[in-house]
Chain A
Amino acid sequence: MSRIRNFSIIAHIDHGKSTLADRLMERTGAVTEREMRDQLLDSMDLERERGITIKAQSVRLTHRAGDGSDYTLNLIDTPGHVDFSYEVSRSLAACEGAILLVDAAQGVQAQTLANAYLAVEAGLEIIPVINKIDLPAAEPERVADEIVGILGGDPAAVIRVSAKTGEGIDELLDRIVADIPPPTGRADAPLRALVFDSYFDTYRGVVCSVRVVDGALVTDEQLLFMATRERHPANELGVITPRAKSIDRLGVGEVGFLITGVKEIDRIRVGDTVTTAHDPADVPLPGYAEPKPMVFSGLFPSDGDDFERLREALDKLQLNDASLVWEPETSRALGFGFRVGFLGLLHMEIVRERLEREYDLDLVATAPSVAYRVTSTDGEVTDIRSPQDLPAPANIEQLEEPYVRAMIITPSEYVGAVMELAQARRGEMAHMQYLSPERVELIYQIPLAEVVFDFFDTLKSRTRGYASLDYEPSDYRVSDLVRVDILLAGQSVDAFSTITHRDKAYTYGKAMVERLRELIPRQLFDVPIQAAIGSRIISRETVKARRKDVLAKCYGGDISRKRKLLERQKEGKRRMKMVGSVEVPQEAFIAALRVDGDDR
């Protein structure tokens, strides 16, 4: 146990986490250079393409230290983004230490900070490392100052490496052994093992990553999962080296995988505690929580015939992503689809992209929304995920919306632009600090609804791409929120209803109404398009009735041609959706949903 070191690598996207992991594996002889697949830990295509690690895996390495002894190093991979902050926190809970990896040219980014704070909160020993010192643009001294500004300590103690060339790797391995404490735990106590990750394998079913805290996990024993109260046998135990290798036993402080034969991923919960059925522990390990979606969006197939395929695709995605939740949703404008809950914006983007790419679906997504908390006049509190579910204003005592703590790091020249943006999005500044003369960290309390709507893209464009953002849920706050409905010829079009702050209702309504006026074809009668809060109209446009719809003449008696022309027009009409008596092409709805952030 004293020769075990469990650690994670915390890094911003593209700061070189996967390259460093590869180098550590190579240097410890886990893989040879020849057989090494580049960036071994990131297995999904999408991960590799975006440079994001979505699902964690752990690798067992053996390192002969300066004292001549062999140490077992368990490198526990963590998701890189705070959308997955619960998963990150569970991975960190399996560690005693963390490498904080920062790009020598880019310096500390918001995501680095957010995860570093999680690691500090988890009580981990943090080893700061500056990567990519071989780059011409590298400024290791400046970056070391930034890191020390945040974590304290001595700039000279910050390790400089190049994961690419291998420079500094040996020093890093020695520091892992020297600085990170060995695991503690009682070998004679009843088994307690933390499930810090799980994934679905087509042949093996659900594979859990586990860290034994007390006792021992032994093959063939009957296990009890304490949160779900489910019992499953330990069919197989193993470690990844990085090839999967079966073993009979995982003792205190050890990390490995567990296969129980369970096929449904949502039956095994990340954060759950595994104990033995015959001699269960009294208390589970702390920190378990149900996955909680933060952002919601309606997903509809562009072609209504694809509804079943969308359902199947979501089912398949869920095999590997227990945090994905959805329920059927019917929209008058968009037909049958699902209201899907995501952990955050990145999660939403990844899921949408995987659905479109891996399942070849063409999707229409409604504007993302958040879960609003409604207190009714009779005191009942409910969370609503869709604007449709908001009760009539008369029945609402108060409305609350989720706020997040948003961390933004920006070059100091853009501080003004960032503050302007955050204020326009109803942000309240909580904290501002200069990490260095050139770089500033700003922390805002800001409504999640404002962040989910294009905030990141706008932030990037206003800072020439230099600012970084991360956020974590903070609390619910009472807000002056209203639902804006969009009405076509007096009929509300569900897909366009939105809950927004009263100050922004008019801007949204006006933009949407104007957009629809451009997109809706003229009908036999005038079509009023209105934005309304309850029964109060806040904006109005009219699509004037079509006045001429007749072919001039019939050339040389060519009736067939006339009929074909009309049939083509009819085909166009087949793709129309009826809203009351108004015919709207599906494309108009889709185009109208592509509202840019400045309309809010």
Chain B
Amino acid sequence: MTRPDAVALAEAAATWRGAYVHIPFCARLCPYCDFAVVPGQLDQMDRYIEAVVREVGMEPEWAPLDTVFFGGGTPSRVPADRLARVCDALSNRFGFASDVEVTIEANPEDVDAAYARQVAAAGIARVSLGAQSFDDGVLAALGRVHRAVDTVRAVDALRSAGIASISIDLIFGHPVETAAVWSATLDEAVAAGVDHVSTYALTVERGTELSRQIADGAPAPDEDTQADRWSLADARLAQAGFIRYEVSNRAKVGHVSRHNLATWGRAEYVAFGLGAHGFRAGVRRRNVRRLDAYLEAIEANRRPEAGRETVAGWQAECERVMLGLRRAAGVRAGRAGTALLASDEGRRLTGAGVLVRRGDRLVVERPLLTDAAVRAVLWLPES
């Protein structure tokens, strides 16, 4: 169901300006994670935060930001006053829109009443908790240090501190997870009273501990099982008043993540910190992933850039469609979308009920097959 206001929001998102700040510190490495992270090394934290602040100063000035996102790693490993210092730097450099959305990712075990209050005091109104599951067996299998009860306490603490929008991430489809366990996790998520739920299928990334375990004979996640789990989540969360606005993301009314919508709306964003990716003026740039290289570059007054790519013309048009198709609101068909519908692959996708044209928009009706449509966009000859 595409709601008119969802379409308007999705289109507006393309004009938002975002900032992404990467906080790489983690208590330990999760076996499935391949982000730029540094376990331990908290002694480097002050130096790192100073470096990020300096990097903000290196970015050309811009208009006020609509969204700021602290991702990780584990931003909650960093005391909230340090995050506030980065926020101030961003605000001073670019300004904040009056309705700016500032989010941090936090691990449940880090969030107690005191920390929640610090976060609120820092002007951060949205917290995304890495809950992952409400089953301690699954949490252990995922290599997480917290327990289900920590998540419940964290949500309560954040609420009490006046955090306006609370989100949780859930990971589904680990081989130890049964349908009953997943169903119970969904019930707990609803009962916790959060505003936004992201559900991610466990993915085996190359070079991770998880991929090594599987290579050594541990069971791998099963695609069909994950499809079942996704469908269960879709039904259960919809029933509880969460609206799916993207393949993996659902929110109660008024709690759609701007950061998320901006990404899939192909909005521009500046990015700071280790391994961070930015997109501004048609250029995608990425930072180095090694902490010492990052710090050395900044301290030598250089941007710690590892590479960049200019996306323009037809490629940019295709990218707009590829990204937009992940949203429930779909994407304005435009040149690439029209070409897609006219292609052999596009006809197969419409024939299989994956892709549908609705007015001037293109919508993926079977979100779990989104990438089949996205790949088809890559096939398109320029038109």
Q: Which residues of A contact B (CB under 8 A)?
A: 524-525, 545-560, 563, 566-567, 569-570, 573, 581
> A559 touches which one: B223, B230, B248, B277 (CB < 8 A)?
B277
Give 11 A-B contacts (CB < 8 Å), ordered by A residue.
A547-B223, A547-B224, A549-B370, A555-B34, A555-B35, A556-B35, A556-B71, A557-B263, A560-B309, A563-B378, A573-B375
CB-contacts of B359-383 with A (<8 A): 367-372, 374-375, 378-379
Q: A525-B352, A559-B319 in contact; A548/B201 too (CB < 8 A)? A: yes
Q: Is the CB of B368 within 8 A of A548?
A: yes
What are the residues of chain B within 8 A of A554 when measuring CB–CB?
A: 263
Shortest CB distance A549–B (Å): 5
Give CA–CA (A368, B71) in the complex, Å: 61
Interface of B is mostly: mixed
> A556 touches which one: B201, B275, B354 (CB < 8 A)?
B275
What are the residues of chain A within 8 A of B71 when measuring CB–CB?
A: 556
> B367 touches which one: A545, A546, A550, A567 (CB < 8 A)?
A550
Give CA–CA (A557, B375) in the complex, Å: 18
Q: Is the CB of B368 within 8 A of A566?
A: no
Give CA–CA (A549, B370) in the complex, Å: 6
Shortest CB distance B230–A (Å): 7
Q: Is B87 an interface residue (CB 8 A)?
A: no
Shortest CB distance B320–A (Å): 11
Q: Is B279 an interface residue (CB 8 A)?
A: yes
Give CA–CA (A574, B375) in the complex, Å: 11
Give CA–CA (A555, B24) in the complex, Å: 13
What are the residues of chain A within 8 A of B263 when measuring CB–CB?
A: 554, 557, 559
> A570 touches which one: B224, B278, B378 (CB < 8 A)?
B378
Q: Is B227 an interface residue (CB 8 A)?
A: yes
What are the residues of chain B within 8 A of A573 when measuring CB–CB?
A: 375
Give CA–CA (A552, B370) in the complex, Å: 11
A524-B369, A550-B326, A552-B202 given; 15 more Cβ-contact pairs under 8 Å: A524-B352, A547-B224, A549-B369, A549-B372, A550-B247, A550-B370, A557-B269, A559-B263, A559-B277, A559-B279, A559-B323, A563-B319, A569-B375, A570-B378, A581-B348
Closest residue on chain B to residue A583 by CB atoms: B348
Give CA–CA (A550, B227) in the complex, Å: 10
Q: Is the CB of A552 within 8 A of B22?
A: no
Q: Is the CB of B286 within 8 A of A558?
A: yes
Q: Is the CB of B201 within 8 A of A524?
A: no
Contact code string B216-236 (vs A, CB < 8 Å = 1, else 0): 000000011011001000000
Pairs of residues from A and B, 9 with the lowest C-beta to C-beta distance, nearest first: A547-B227, A524-B352, A548-B227, A552-B200, A550-B370, A548-B368, A557-B277, A552-B201, A550-B371
Q: Is the CB of A560 within 8 A of B277?
A: yes
What are the residues of chain A within 8 A of B198 when measuring CB–CB?
A: 553
Closest residue on chain B to residue A564 by CB atoms: B309
Give CA–CA (A551, B227) in the complex, Å: 12
Q: Is B20 an interface residue (CB 8 A)?
A: yes
Q: Is the CB of B248 within 8 A of A553?
A: yes
Q: Is the CB of B248 within 8 A of A547?
A: no
Q: Is B56 an interface residue (CB 8 A)?
A: no
Closest residue on chain A to residue B376 by CB atoms: A570
CB-contacts of B266-305 with A (<8 A): 269, 271, 275-279, 284, 286
Q: Is the CB of B354 within 8 A of A559?
A: no
Give CA–CA (A558, B284) in the complex, Å: 9
Give CA–CA (A289, B323) in the complex, Å: 70
Q: Is the CB of B277 within 8 A of A548?
A: no
Give CA–CA (A550, B202) in the complex, Å: 12
What are the residues of chain A within 8 A of B378 when measuring CB–CB?
A: 563, 566-567, 570
Q: Is B102 an interface residue (CB 8 A)?
A: no
What are the residues of chain B within 8 A of A552 when measuring CB–CB?
A: 200-203, 248
What are the residues of chain A within 8 A of B277 when measuring CB–CB?
A: 556-560
Give CA–CA (A550, B372) in the complex, Å: 8
Q: Is B322 an interface residue (CB 8 A)?
A: yes
Give CA–CA (A167, B4) in the complex, Å: 102
Q: A525-B352, A558-B286, A566-B375 in contact; A551/B203 too (CB < 8 A)? A: yes
Closest residue on chain B to residue A559 by CB atoms: B284
Shortest CB distance A576–B (Å): 11
> B371 touches which one: A557, A558, A566 (CB < 8 A)?
A566
Q: Is B243 an interface residue (CB 8 A)?
A: no
Closest residue on chain A to residue B223 by CB atoms: A548
CB-contacts of B172-222 with A (<8 A): 198, 200-203
What are the residues of chain A within 8 A of B372 when measuring CB–CB?
A: 524, 546, 549
Closest residue on chain A to residue B199 by CB atoms: A552
Give CA–CA (A497, B371) in the complex, Å: 35
Shortest CB distance A378–B (Å): 42
Contact code string B20-50 (vs A, CB < 8 Å = 1, else 0): 1010000000000011100000000000000
Q: Is the CB of A556 within 8 A of B309?
A: no
Q: Is B166 an interface residue (CB 8 A)?
A: no
Q: Is the CB of A550 within 8 A of B348?
A: no
Shortest CB distance B378–A (Å): 5
Q: Is the CB of A556 within 8 A of B374?
A: no
Q: Is B349 an interface residue (CB 8 A)?
A: yes
What are the residues of chain A within 8 A of B349 when measuring CB–CB?
A: 524
Q: Is the CB of B226 within 8 A of A548?
A: yes
Closest residue on chain B to residue A573 by CB atoms: B375
Shortest CB distance B283–A (Å): 11
Shortest CB distance A477–B (Å): 48
Closest residue on chain A to residue B226 by CB atoms: A548
Give CA–CA (A569, B198) in the complex, Å: 26
Q: Is the CB of B375 within 8 A of A560?
A: no
CB-contacts of B306-361 with A (<8 A): 309, 319, 322-323, 326, 348-349, 351-352, 354
What are the residues of chain A within 8 A of B369 when measuring CB–CB?
A: 524, 546-550
Closest residue on chain B to residue A566 by CB atoms: B375
